[in-house]
A and B are shown apart, each in its own frame.
Chain A
Amino acid sequence: MNIKESDRGWQSGMAKSITFIVTKDCQLACKYCYLVGKNTKERMSWEVAKQAIDYILDREEEFREESVIWDFIGGEPFLEIDLIDKICDYLKTEMYRRNHHWFNSYRFSFSTNGINYHTEKVQRFIEKNRNHLSIGITIDGTQRKHDLNRIWKTPEMEQGIAPKPEEERGSYKDVVKNIPLWLEQFPGASTKVTISSADIPYIKESVLHLYSLGIKEVNINCVFEDVWKDGDDKLFEEQLTELADAIIDGRLYEDHACSFFMEHIGKPMDRERDNQNWCGAGMMLAVDAAGMFYPCTRFAQYSLRSKPAWIIGNIHDGIDKNKLRPFLTLDRCTQSNEECINCEVASGCAWCQGENFDAADTHTVYQRSTAICKMHKARVRANNYYWNKLFRKLELQEYEEQKRKSNHPACEL
């Protein structure tokens, strides 16, 4: 059977992810963005970046992971390309000079809005680090879907004034122009699509549009926040079912992947055997412009609506391991309610530890948010449809093939 599988990611499960929040600024003001505290002021200085690097590389015995992903996030990370370039040069030099084991296994990773991708500085950086880069450009689908949420920031927005709908300016055209260059440089690249309530009607056309742009892998997920309206799950299921038909009928499954459709999701999970945590928070490390360390970027203040930042240390005093213990002992059942534990379609139902914390009734990472429940169930129904239809098609094809082969001698008679 020829079905493209989703890429599991470089050194999946074996790499430490270390994130530099280089800026909290972005050219865009996406409506679904969870970063509630974006601003133009908090830009990382070289001194802070260097101290963070020295702190981490000085402690090789504490960071034993085989590989490392040096991740750069914003806001929009490429707004700080000069700093990033300096950081990466320093990282390469220091990992090598110290004979650090990560020199043999590292990547620089970026999630960008793609607007500055073509600029000379970014291109020079790419050329310089070509073999160690993982760059994801976020393009949300068709122009109407993309521009629905991913709009340019206006100066008034910084004063808290929302633009009128007619004044909103989408960013699709500014991003799509850079897609061919990106795909030429990273042919296997995937994009990340985010779905909120208003996007649901455009899911099918958007995934197919991204495929038509040459993007073979679309990682797509519903936001974890509690934004879903009555009927969203029905509409979502319809969109995914139509998308399933389009992918199967057009044989797109052979060389394209869409993360909504995964063979092994939607099954009950065993309390003992399937008790691992979903999210990697705590295994990762994030550092911001103030030199504060977090279990992941979602625990920095600019990501949190209603909770104080979960700071686990800083570049001067180091990491307080006590504050990581709740993350490192997390399991599925302890943080889930009985309905989730006994759910018939539990597998593949994701959660974000940061959103769980933000939405929790108390200061804890042990209360799983269930806002996504009905969307997961809708996804499972469409996913079941997808695999039943696809396997039946492939089965029939194989049957026809066998029949043709077995009939062949008779035809010759």
Chain B
Amino acid sequence: MEIRKVVGQVTPEERAEIQALFERKNGLTELAKIVSADNTELYEKLVKDMGETGTKFQQWWDTKSKKYGWESHPKGNWEINFETCEITLVAQE
């Protein structure tokens, strides 16, 4: 059974940071489906960017969870609501 529980809230500025990273990550993922390795310049830029964006994305969650001390779960992950800035813990029981 899935459990959903609001465990915290970030500031609008913090929300904007993760929203931009989220959008970029999705953009890169979908771009990766159409850029082939033949297009060397773009392909290399994309691969590097995906790595960097993924790292920044994870760093945001690490930093913010530490800052706010959100409740966690071994089989769970956090989600953010971009409208309300709320952080929800989603876990499987």
Indicate if the CB atoms of A128 and B27 lie closer than 8 Å.
no
Interface of B is mostly: helix
Kindly list chain B residues whose C-beta atoms are within 8 Å of the C-beta of A92: 27, 30-31, 34
Indicate if the CB atoms of A93 and B31 lie closer than 8 Å.
yes
Given A96-B42, A97-B42 in contact, is the A106-B31 Cβ separation under 8 Å?
Answer: no
**A106, B23: Cα distance in complex, Å:** 8
For residues 303 through 354 of chain A, which have their beta carbon under 8 Å from a beta carbon of chain B?
none
For residues 262 through 283 of chain A, which have their beta carbon under 8 Å from a beta carbon of chain B?
none
A398 at the interface (CB under 8 A from B): no
Indicate if the CB atoms of A131 and B29 lie closer than 8 Å.
yes
Given A93-B42, A103-B24 in contact, is the A132-B30 Cβ separation under 8 Å?
Answer: yes
For residues 93 through 122 of chain A, which have their beta carbon under 8 Å from a beta carbon of chain B?
93, 96-97, 103-106
Indicate if the CB atoms of B35 and A93 lie closer than 8 Å.
yes
**A139, B42: Cα distance in complex, Å:** 42
**A318, B31: Cα distance in complex, Å:** 29
Indicate if the CB atoms of A132 and B24 lie closer than 8 Å.
no
A130 at the interface (CB under 8 A from B): yes
A 65-104 binary contact with B (CB < 8 Å = 1; else 0): 0000000000000000000000001001100110000011
A129 at the interface (CB under 8 A from B): yes
Q: How far is the CB of B80 from chain A (nearest CB, A)?
A: 15
Interface of A is mostly: helix
Indicate if the CB atoms of B42 and A104 lie closer than 8 Å.
no
> Chain B: interface residue count, which band?
10 to 19
Indicate if the CB atoms of A103 and B34 lie closer than 8 Å.
no
Given A93-B42, A97-B42 in contact, is the A104-B31 Cβ separation under 8 Å?
Answer: no
In the complex, the chain A residue whose C-beta lies closest to that of B31 is A92
Indicate if the CB atoms of A131 and B26 lie closer than 8 Å.
yes
Indicate if the CB atoms of B26 and A132 lie closer than 8 Å.
yes
Question: 19 additional contacts, CB 8 Å, given A93-B31, A129-B30?
Answer: A92-B27, A92-B30, A92-B34, A93-B34, A93-B35, A93-B42, A96-B27, A96-B28, A96-B31, A96-B42, A96-B45, A96-B46, A104-B27, A105-B23, A128-B33, A131-B26, A131-B29, A132-B27, A132-B30
**A105, B27: Cα distance in complex, Å:** 8
Kindly list chain B residues whose C-beta atoms are within 8 Å of the C-beta of A103: 24, 27
In the complex, the chain A residue whose C-beta lies closest to that of B28 is A96
Kindly list chain B residues whose C-beta atoms are within 8 Å of the C-beta of A97: 42
| Listed A/B pairs (24) with beta-carbon separation below 8 Å | A89-B34, A92-B27, A92-B31, A93-B31, A93-B34, A93-B35, A93-B42, A96-B42, A97-B42, A103-B24, A104-B23, A104-B24, A104-B27, A105-B20, A106-B27, A128-B33, A128-B34, A129-B30, A130-B30, A131-B26, A131-B29, A132-B26, A132-B27, A132-B30
**A92, B23: Cα distance in complex, Å:** 13
